[in-house]
């Protein structure tokens, strides 16, 4: 159950970051059973995640993680501020 919760939260963060909109993923589309378009979108997402994982594991990964963390902290602050809503 905790794994499922984490996966749902990761999906929510991807949505919050604008990933779904950027690739044209419509809410409710089943990425496994949604046909060729869904398979294409799933491949794009997986490729993006693989690229990020490779970069995080490679040289400069710690610096990249810190940059991601900083940007995320700012985004969360902006979202929770009255003008961010």
Supply the range of the domain harboring residue 69. Answer: 2-84
Is a pLDDT exceeding 60 seen at residue 85? no
Is the whole model's pTM more than 0.75, yes or no? yes
Q: What is the pLDDT of residue 9?
A: 96
Which has the closest alpha carbon to 48: 75, 69, 26, 25? 25
Six token digits for residue 70: 């900083």
Within 10 angstroms of residue 46's Cβ, the number of other Cβ atoms is: 11
Residue count (the chain): 85
Pseudo-torsion of CA 23, 69, 10, 29, nearest 10°? -10
- For the chain, how many structural domains are there in total? 1
Range 3-17 average pLDDT? 95
The per-residue pLDDT for range 16-68, each reduced to its tens digit, is 999 999 999 998 999 999 999 999 999 999 999 999 999 999 999 999 999 99
């Amino acid at each position: 159950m905790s794994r499922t919760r984490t996966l749902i939260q990761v999906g929510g963060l991807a949505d919050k970051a604008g990933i779904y909109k950027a690739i044209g993923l419509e809410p409710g589309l089943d990425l496994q059973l949604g046909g060729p378009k869904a398979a294409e979108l799933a491949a794009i997402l997986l490729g993006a995640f693989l690229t990020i994982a490779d970069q995080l594991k490679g040289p400069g990964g710690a610096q990249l993680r810190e940059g991601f963390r900083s940007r995320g902290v700012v985004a969360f602050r902006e979202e929770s501020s009255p003008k961010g809503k």
